[in-house]
A and B are shown apart, each in its own frame.
Chain A
Amino acid sequence: MVELKNASFRYRDTEEGVQDISLSVYPGTCVVFTGVSGCGKTTVTRMINGLAPAYYPGDRSGTIAIDGKNIDDIPVWQIGETVGSVFQDPKSQFFSSELNGEVAFACENYGFDRDEILRRTDRAITVMELEAIRNRPLDVISSGEKQRTAIASVYALQPKIFVCDEPTANLDQEGIEQLKRTFAKLKAAGHTLIIAEHRIAWLNGIADRYLYIANGRIIAQYTPAEINAISNRKRREMGLRVSVPIQIPNLPEPNAAQPARIRTKLLCCHRGQNRIWTDLNFVAHAGYVTALTGINGAGKTTLALVLSGLAPYNSGTIYLNEEKADAARLRKAVYYCSNDTGTQFFTDSVSEELLLNLERNAETLNAARGILKRMRLYNVKDSHPAVLSGGQKQRLAIACGLLSGRDILIFDEPTSGLDGANMRLIAAELKSAACNGKTVVVISHDAELISACCDFRIHLGTRITD
């Protein structure tokens, strides 16, 4: 059992943190913290697993007890045996390139003897259903498999409590569904789950209690029935996403008979022995937002890179305004916005980043100012892009695309890991870009985003052929 009494935390040298958090989490239950980005839900998870203040320096007050023991009396490595932690981005947490080594990592640190490590590792791999990928390098498995590998490593320690900080932020739809099964299993086995999350729909059926946090305080508590009953308007005001999964709307495919801004004919792409897609006929029109969906591994990102002139293809033709176009021309006309913001920014301020490689005249400066205001980035316009929050980075990346002056904009999962408020902001921007004559293509599985802004939908996988 986890008990927090008036627990507060403030990160060193900042005003950020949480105040007066009081709650009891009973064994075998699942508690979800939600709220807009930066509200403090991650900080609460860090207090419970001891990383704040052990790893993130700052001041803590109030009391936190785990199974009746005051957390101040336990060294952080010992907390790890009772409280297992799962983080956002599994791929940059691995210490091993293969499954067994990674799953055994935590057990090795705790110095168990070899037979015990083998037993625990094997069991964790079986329970997390990772048997099939035992001999594959960790760098090539899917994002969902990576996250389950990270969970398996923690599971091997048999902690009573799992604390998860946005575990789906870097996962695709399939990964989220697998993760849902995993968490249901953990809960059924009696583990306590404490989860901070934006996308809460997948937790429907697992969560017992939702805590809504704003400005570092718990504002409201909901049972599943109560949170599902919140009206759409109220949800929008609270900046939340839907709490029950919704279906991707049935949108028509773009009309291939009309003249298109960008079109491919019989496009084929191989990577080594692997056929990614063949005979692909893709069409997107100016003035509309087209959703590109498809199962994991269908080659959505590859298609986006090929269309942007950033990756090679094997055969077929790409047409811009019905004229054949090579990679160099595509690069001038198409902007690709990746969802990995870690390597996208080059300059030392948000405004410089927007204007990078653009001609600086009154018109672009005005446009930049407008976009910064609309994207709620104006107050951070002089900050370094690296200090922005995840949501702000995502918005900046999209703003760079919108301002790039290119006609065709492709966004790759622009709203994964974003709260409801940010998601709706981005949906509105994509729609207005299309209204201004841009061709917008968005790779996404975010049913909320697709319902909010897309006009057409192309599904890869059920092959789009004539």
Chain B
Amino acid sequence: MRLEPFAVPVKLWAFCCVLIAVLLTRNGILTWTLTLFALAYTAMQRRWSIVLSYGSFYALLGCLLYAIRFHQLKMALFSEFHLILFWTLSPIAVVSWDLIKTPPGELSAFLSRMKTPTPVILGLLVIFRFFPTMKAEVAAVIQSMRNRGLTAPAFLLRRPLESLEFILVPLLLRCLQIADQLSVSAVARGAERPGTRGSYFGNTRLSGRDWAMISIWSAVTVIFLIVGDVRSWSN
């Protein structure tokens, strides 16, 4: 089998499936079956970083829950409740992680096929640019604060409000500046043109492999719900 990313509709369908499955099941512990399948699904798309990092986090969760269940471990940090919460929501987390790791170009291609207005697509692209941009800006602000002696612990403790102001104000002013520069560059490059946006990425048709995955996810969800007990909302 070819190991390559699935099309965006498949990813969205997978997300709906896990969401419904987790929403309806009464057996939160059993979601491990879905999580394992979701990890396999990311592996099929060569998303090794997700498989590895979430896989090890999940293993740790599993060990802790095992220790709580069979060896009366009491959590000093975090709580047993959070472990259960993370455990139950894991399939959704894996599938979403894969979804947001989709190249923004492919998501925007999908949205423009759905005739989404250009401003909405630009908003989505900005969300994806947020993290690399902000990382650099926050680092720059902290560096200038250190340079000017504003991060000395004594200073931070004596004047916490002022310190907060020193971080927030340059960061916010810079944020507005970036928003302006992004907008000018978008407007100068035709962002205000009415009509549907084109796209560089994305095959318009789902392949056989995509359809197969859609069917498999649907089947997995149905089987899971049969085995995993549908929650009754009456009580």
Contacts and interface: CB of A to CB of B under 8 A. Distances in A.
Nearest to B181: A92
A117 B192 contact: no
A346 interface: yes
Contacts of B125: 95-96
B147 A346 contact: no
B27 interface: no
Given A49-B188, A342-B177, A94 B143 contact: no
A344 B170 contact: yes
B184 interface: yes
Interface stretch (B10-18, B48-56, B90-98, B193-201): B193-201
Contact of B129 (A87, A94, A104): A94
Given A100-B200, A343-B144, A95 B122 contact: yes
Contacts of A104: 105, 199-200
Contacts of B185: 85, 87, 93, 95, 150
18 contacts: A80-B189, A92-B177, A93-B184, A95-B122, A96-B125, A100-B105, A107-B198, A109-B191, A111-B196, A113-B198, A117-B198, A118-B200, A331-B146, A335-B147, A343-B170, A343-B171, A346-B165, A400-B148
A26 interface: no
B140 A85 contact: no
A139 B132 contact: yes
A6 B201 CA distance: 45
B226 interface: no
A106 interface: yes
Contact of A109 (B165, B169, B178, B193): B193
Interface residues of A, number: 63
Given A97-B132, A356-B148, A346 B166 contact: yes
A101 B104 contact: yes
Given A51-B188, A139-B136, 16 more contacts: A89-B181, A93-B182, A98-B103, A104-B200, A108-B198, A108-B200, A110-B190, A110-B193, A111-B193, A111-B197, A114-B198, A340-B140, A342-B174, A344-B144, A345-B170, A346-B169
Given A101-B103, A331-B149, A114 B126 contact: no
A121 B202 CA distance: 15
Nearest to B146: A310
Contact of B126 (A95, A113, A121): A95
A109 B187 CA distance: 10
Interface in A297-339: 305, 308, 310, 331-332, 335-336, 338
A179 to B, nearest CB: 17
B148 to A, nearest CB: 6
B77 interface: no
Contacts of B104: 96-97, 101
A253 interface: no
The 8 A-B pairs of least Cβ separation, nearest first, read A104-B200, A93-B185, A106-B189, A109-B190, A85-B188, A77-B193, A101-B105, A343-B140
B112 interface: yes
A338 B199 CA distance: 39
A89 B132 CA distance: 16
B45 interface: no
A338 B136 CA distance: 14
Contacts of A308: 147
Interface string A121-165: 100000000000000010100000000001001100100000000
A85 B181 CA distance: 12
Contacts of A89: 181
Contacts of B201: 101
B128 to A, nearest CB: 7
Interface in A58-101: 75-78, 80-81, 84-85, 87, 89, 92-98, 100-101
A367 B165 CA distance: 27
Contact of A346 (B150, B155, B187, B191): B150
B54 to A, nearest CB: 22
B157 to A, nearest CB: 15
Given A96-B125, A97-B128, A111-B197, A81 B190 contact: yes
B129 A95 contact: yes
B183 interface: yes
B3 interface: no
Contacts of A400: 148
B144 A108 contact: no
Most A CB within 10 A of own CB, among B108, B125, B148, B181:
B148
Nearest to A327: B146
B141 interface: yes
Contacts of B103: 98, 101
A294 B186 CA distance: 35
B182 to A, nearest CB: 6
B102 to A, nearest CB: 12
B152 to A, nearest CB: 9
A109 B189 contact: yes
B173 interface: yes
Contacts of B190: 77, 80-81, 106, 109-110, 157
A51 B184 CA distance: 8
Contacts of A404: 148
Given A100-B105, A343-B144, A357-B149, A95 B186 contact: yes
B207 interface: no
Interface string B189-226: 11111011111111000000000000000000000000
Contacts of A107: 198, 200
